[in-house]
Chain A
Amino acid sequence: MLYSICLTSQIEYRTHRDMRQLEEVLAAIAHGDKEALQHLYQSTRTAVYGFALSILKNRHDAEDILQEVYIRIFHSSDSYRPEGKPMAWIFAITRNLALMRLREGRRYGELPEEAWAQIPAKDSGLSTEDRMVLDAAMQGLTDEERQIVMLHALTGMKHREIAEVMELALPTVLSKYHRAIKKMRHMLTEGL
């Protein structure tokens, strides 16, 4: 299969070739192919994690959801209908699982809001500047702004596609995106 040759490479979310290939991978996963699942994970985990993190604002929960998303994909990939939008499907799963986790959290009254700040900087190898940008996104934006910026930055998806994933109107996505970027720029120049 084609996917074996690019097992660890990041996919280009906007190329149809890669989207088609992802659909082949999903078809193989539907036949129980774990190698295909591994490929899918390697090539999409950053985007899935980033999106989960942008919803949950908590890296432990995002980590759990990251794992749960691929298990869910493995068990339900046969329900995927190939329409050229495998990433939209994967993000929909991510969003649903993350929102479910949020609801559970609220029910049990847990989740310190700023759990994100606990990220061990020394382990991550993040540069100070990169970390500041991530902190700005996590702390200074509204939930929707953060999700939009994260999807845009991590996947290169067009605002139109993000609007579909987030079930929002295109102008809303556009204005929120620009407001978010502006806020982040302000935070980065003026300090958080």
Chain B
Amino acid sequence: MRNREIEDRLRRAVAQSVPDVLEGILSGCEQKGKVIPMQTRNRKVNRWIAIASAAAAVLVLMVGGLYGWRQYSLYYAVDSIIGLDVNPGIELKVSETERILETRAINDDAVGILDNMELKGTTLDVAVNAIIGSMLKNGYLGDLSNSILVTVENQDEARGQELQQRLVNEIQGILSSNALEGSILSQTLQEDAELQALSETYGISMGKASLIQSILQQDTLHTVEDLVGLTIHELNLLSSSNGVQLSGITASGVPSDDAYIGEDRALQAALTHAGLTSEQIQLRKIKLDWDDGRAEYEVEFIAGTTKYDYDIDAFSGQVISFDHEAQHVQATPYATPAPTSTAAASQTAAPQTASPTPMTAATKAPAATQAPAASNLIGEEKAKEIALAHAGVAANSATFTKVKLDWDDGRQKYDIAFYSGMYEYELEIDAQTGAVREYDWDAIDDDDRHHVQSTPKPTATPAANSQDIGRDRAQQIALGHAGVSASQVTGLKVERDRDDGRQVYDVEFDVGRTEYSYEIDAASGNILQWEKDVDD
């Protein structure tokens, strides 16, 4: 009997044996505020009387309550939830008459903003004025940080949008009167379980969760974790610097980058460090990004046959990290990202020529002259073969998580990682000789044959480029991990689900008397959790 069948039967059995105690509950609730001791053993004596009185009570409540209910809805029921996010995140629950029913501070900064403000009962425009005024006064909004996100949650979309527009106008007016050109992002949201989960998981507002989700729809290089710690202004800058078109979000004004050194100075800092001039390079990328909450410019350019990557501190102009990498004739997809067509052409034409650029002593990568011809390399397949043989693992039971050609101490090597059964293996294989240079293995966390990972570990797929790997890929990952083919399994089931704000695929199948179940991240293909149960 499968787990699910056992649970289904259990659920049915309880559902059919649960007694009906509603009458006892209703009579027990007669006096609010006072718990009435239960006369459980005598309940049946008064059964019909209790049913009749309970039914009568419900009827009276239903008929007599209609007028009262409308009045209640108008003045006390939550009609809209307004989110104001800068870094302080504030949520206002508002009645249909636009009175504040409740204010909520989403984060510590907001606690300071709302401190000593008694907004309950005031009108929405008064509350918004007070909050924006306090944000200006406390320096959360100013010339260096001029972004604000306005979110209206209302089940009536038209009403929500109308309110959104009014709030944007109102806030623009307040900022203008303080001589500030604001950049206002605004949106109207309806019920959305995914967003709700995201906001709960990370302790952020629904509005910010929606903004992050919107950015991640186009920006596959970042994860939710990368973005939750950023302020609205930083998110606004990140999306504008990366050319992200925010769907469902209306943007007005330009986010100020006055707090940072700017792209030109960032490029200059990188060029100075590399000992190059702007005439000698072909610029491939320059953009503002955040790494561990630190703002940095990512600068990438090519000079001759060398690719330069720099991370420049966006405040100070200091070089945070850099990498100079020689380009090769037959660069594998793992070795470097595909170069632009012009750059590729020049590298192909003269792969062995020395870099025309002076390399500094601190350069991590060797100069192009050191690069061996690609034909000298053993190749990925051979490297994988060597790795498996060294670990004593059969090819059909291994799932590779990394095969990457890289440089180390002037030599090329393959970094290889895979797992098999309950073990993870990592090896470094000399790319020319095939010698194993480093070998390490570790047991995957095991608890009674159930594998649970607190943080996602990589699986066979490299970071996915799309938001969803698809059912087939999820199935493939699970089968690959279990080391079986589709033809060997029965009862295969792939379902898309949501867990902790994350889209996942639940994959289940049987191999003989063994049940497998997997939870796979729908965006990255990472195996989040898997279980194997032998029916013995």
B16 at interface by CB-CB < 8 Å: yes
Known: A71-B28, A75-B29. A35 touches B11 (CB 8 A): no
Q: Identify 14 new A-B residue pairs, CB closer than 8 A, beyond the known A16-B196, A68-B38.
A: A17-B193, A35-B58, A49-B18, A59-B19, A60-B40, A64-B38, A64-B40, A70-B28, A75-B29, A119-B17, A133-B13, A134-B14, A152-B7, A171-B447
**Quick check: B6 and A16 within 8 Å, CB to CB?**
no
Of listed B8, B26, B191, residue having the most chain A CB within 10 A: B26
B1 at interface by CB-CB < 8 Å: yes
**Quick check: A150 and B40 within 8 Å, CB to CB?**
no
Interface SS of B by simple majority = helix
**Quick check: A129 and B29 within 8 Å, CB to CB?**
no
Known: A84-B200, A133-B9, A134-B10. A66 touches B35 (CB 8 A): no
**Quick check: B17 and A178 within 8 Å, CB to CB?**
no
Residue from B6, B17, B35, B200 within 8 A of A126 (CB atoms): B17
Closest to A15 in B: B193
Residue from A74, A83, A179 within 8 A of B29 (CB atoms): A74
A184 CA to B533 CA in the complex, in Å?
14
Inter-chain contacts of A185 with B (CB < 8 A):
1, 6, 535
Inter-chain contacts of B533 with A (CB < 8 A):
178, 181-182
A46 at interface by CB-CB < 8 Å: yes
Residue from A20, A35, A64, A179 within 8 A of B191 (CB atoms): A20
Closest to A29 in B: B29
A45 CA to B14 CA in the complex, in Å?
10
Closest to A154 in B: B11
Number of residue pairs A-B, CB distance < 8 angstroms:
155
User: What are the interface flags for A148-165 relative to B under an 8 Å C-beta threshold, 1 for contact and 0 otherwise?
Assistant: 011011100010100000
Known: A74-B29, A84-B196, A178-B450. A153 touches B11 (CB 8 A): yes
Known: A64-B38, A152-B7, A182-B533. A134 touches B17 (CB 8 A): yes
User: What are the interface flags for A114-127 relative to B under an 8 Å C-beta threshold, 1 for contact and 0 otherwise?
Assistant: 00000100001111
A111 at interface by CB-CB < 8 Å: no
Inter-chain contacts of A181 with B (CB < 8 A):
3, 6, 533
**Quick check: B13 and A131 within 8 Å, CB to CB?**
yes
A60 CA to B447 CA in the complex, in Å?
37
Known: A37-B29, A71-B35, A175-B447. A124 touches B16 (CB 8 A): yes
Inter-chain contacts of A34 with B (CB < 8 A):
26, 29, 57-58, 61
A103 at interface by CB-CB < 8 Å: no
Which residues of chain B in 13-38 are interfacial with respect to chain A, using CB atoms and an 8 Å cutoff?
13-19, 21-22, 24-26, 28-29, 32-36, 38
Which residues of chain B in 176-218 are interfacial with respect to chain A, using CB atoms and an 8 Å cutoff?
191, 193, 196-197, 200
Inter-chain contacts of A110 with B (CB < 8 A):
none
User: What are the interface flags for B37-76 relative to A under an 8 Å C-beta threshold, 1 for contact and 0 otherwise?
Assistant: 0101000000000000000011001100000010010000
**Quick check: A124 and B17 within 8 Å, CB to CB?**
yes
Closest to A155 in B: B11
User: Nearest-CB distance from B200 to chain A (Å)?
Assistant: 5
Interface size class of chain A, counting residues whose CB lies under 8 Å from the partner chain: 35 or more
B531 at interface by CB-CB < 8 Å: yes
Of listed B19, B25, B36, B196, residue having the most chain A CB within 10 A: B25
Inter-chain contacts of A66 with B (CB < 8 A):
18-19, 21
User: Nearest-CB distance from B6 to chain A (Å)?
Assistant: 6
A127 CA to B15 CA in the complex, in Å?
12
Known: A37-B29, A137-B10, A152-B7. A175 touches B18 (CB 8 A): no
A99 at interface by CB-CB < 8 Å: no
Interface pairs (12), CB distance under 8 Å: A34-B29, A35-B61, A37-B26, A41-B22, A41-B25, A45-B21, A66-B19, A75-B32, A75-B33, A153-B7, A178-B533, A188-B6
Known: A35-B62, A149-B10. A178 touches B25 (CB 8 A): no
Inter-chain contacts of A35 with B (CB < 8 A):
58, 61-62
User: What are the interface flags for A18-29 relative to B under an 8 Å C-beta threshold, 1 for contact and 0 otherwise?
Assistant: 001000000000
Closest to B27 in A: A71
**Quick check: A67 and B40 within 8 Å, CB to CB?**
yes
User: Nearest-CB distance from B52 to chain A (Å)?
Assistant: 15
B156 at interface by CB-CB < 8 Å: no
**Quick check: A178 and B531 within 8 Å, CB to CB?**
yes
A34 CA to B33 CA in the complex, in Å?
14
Inter-chain contacts of B29 with A (CB < 8 A):
34, 37, 70-71, 74-75
**Quick check: B18 and A50 within 8 Å, CB to CB?**
yes
B452 at interface by CB-CB < 8 Å: yes
Of listed B3, B17, B69, residue having the most chain A CB within 10 A: B17
User: Nearest-CB distance from A169 to chain B (Å)?
Assistant: 10
B448 at interface by CB-CB < 8 Å: yes
**Quick check: A130 and B18 within 8 Å, CB to CB?**
no
User: Nearest-CB distance from A49 to chain B (Å)?
Assistant: 4
Inter-chain contacts of A31 with B (CB < 8 A):
72
Residue from A16, A33, A130, A179 within 8 A of B193 (CB atoms): A16
Closest to B17 in A: A124
A149 CA to B36 CA in the complex, in Å?
33
A160 CA to B201 CA in the complex, in Å?
13
**Quick check: B24 and A49 within 8 Å, CB to CB?**
no
A101 CA to B36 CA in the complex, in Å?
16
A174 at interface by CB-CB < 8 Å: yes
Known: A15-B193, A126-B17, A174-B447. A67 touches B25 (CB 8 A): yes
Inter-chain contacts of A63 with B (CB < 8 A):
19, 21, 40
Closest to A130 in B: B13
B12 at interface by CB-CB < 8 Å: yes
A149 CA to B13 CA in the complex, in Å?
13
